[in-house]
Structure 1
Amino acid sequence: MRLVIFDLDGVIVSTDELHYLAWKTIADREGIPFDRKINNRLRGVSRKESLEIILSYSKKKYSEAEKETLMKQKNDIYVASLKELSSSDIFPGTREVLEQLKQLGVLTGLASSSKNARLILEKIALTKAFNCIVDGNMIAHSKPHPEVFKKAADILQIPYENALVVEDAKSGIDGAKNANMLAVGIGDAGTYEKCDYKIDFLTELITIIKFINMQANS
């Protein structure tokens, strides 16, 4: 295994609650029902697709201009809430795992549908920890389309079959499999039948990488 590609939100750091609160603010303003069950449908998809899901619960028809306004309002609320984000919000063991992968000669990539991914990485001081970063500003299709993962592998010139993706959402797992890559589901995503491996904590990843490489060399 020559490349490990990480999703950002839910794998490296969690801003799920900040997204939820920002979308809920917008939904409440518009009088649209929105709860955590609906919010779960937004995981791993783009801002535009998230808005379309939310608006599907509204009786009102929105113009494209109105949709653009709502997306901007949501993003403004979300970005403002990121001010308090810091390196202390990184999930335990993340830095150690990235360093161990480096020692094993495994490249690392960050692949996120979020257009705020680089801002988040700056806030948590991890921008320089990855060999490449692909965010929502660089892709035309969000997960489960494989574009974001393929682009990361292409940048680093690694064949797709030599890459592994760590994801916490079904859409991301589907995207990884659509890219012909191995998929590791972390947390609840590990129960998804398309996962090749399941982990509860990121620190378990190194054991999987060593196992895969041992099999490849046997």
Structure 2
Amino acid sequence: MTKRILLLGLLGLAFLTFVGLGVWQIERLQWKQDLIARVDARIHAEPVDPPRAVTSDDEYRRIRLNGTYMPDADTLTQAVTKLGPGFWVMTPMKMDDGRVILVNRGFITQDFKDKAAYLAPSGQVSVTGLLRLTEPKGGFLRTNDAAAGRWFSRDVAEIALARNLTSVAPYFIDADASGSPNAYPVGGLTVVAFTNHHLQYALTWFAMAALTIIGGIIVMRRSDRGDDSA
């Protein structure tokens, strides 16, 4: 009898744990669906003026910039896109109010590293794109090396320091695609994707909870047949 009670107690504890994990995944599912809906609304909203400060709720907000590029301060950061490996062209733009905002003007392949191929337009320009949060400390297992000109992430503060930029906004803008499909840099390649496996996880935990119930029934039936020797 003692053995059966102990086993049933463990199964009951496992059942409560699995149910709790399943409920938590359902809550995570609701949160993720709300996040996806809010980001989708930002992406398709009318562009707004660039903010001075940002939070995580501002990422992927559509922004309108008016200013002048500073082409002597371009930074190429390594990238892999649907077009293959290459670089993002990060060019600071000076706004009328004196602020500087880094603009990811788009992607170039490794064959277009010649500066003439991606030279920024001169004079006053207008750009629309998506606000992106800075990417500090380099890429996965790779650290930015400003002295050697090797950049693996779009770290706004580090790029600003390397290019002697001041009054730099703490974010960058992914520019939209240009009107010419063959023009470099190629904008509009921002990938907006969120993994959402919470429903599958929830169903897995609830299935595990159901198995503990089945296990409890088996234990009780064996006890009724006198199989419990304790």
TM-score (norm 2): 0.24
Between 1 and 2, higher relative CO (CA 8 Å, sep ≥ 6) is seen in 2
The structure whose residues are more often helix, as a share, is 1
Q: Which has the larger radius of gyration?
A: 2
TM-score (norm 1): 0.25
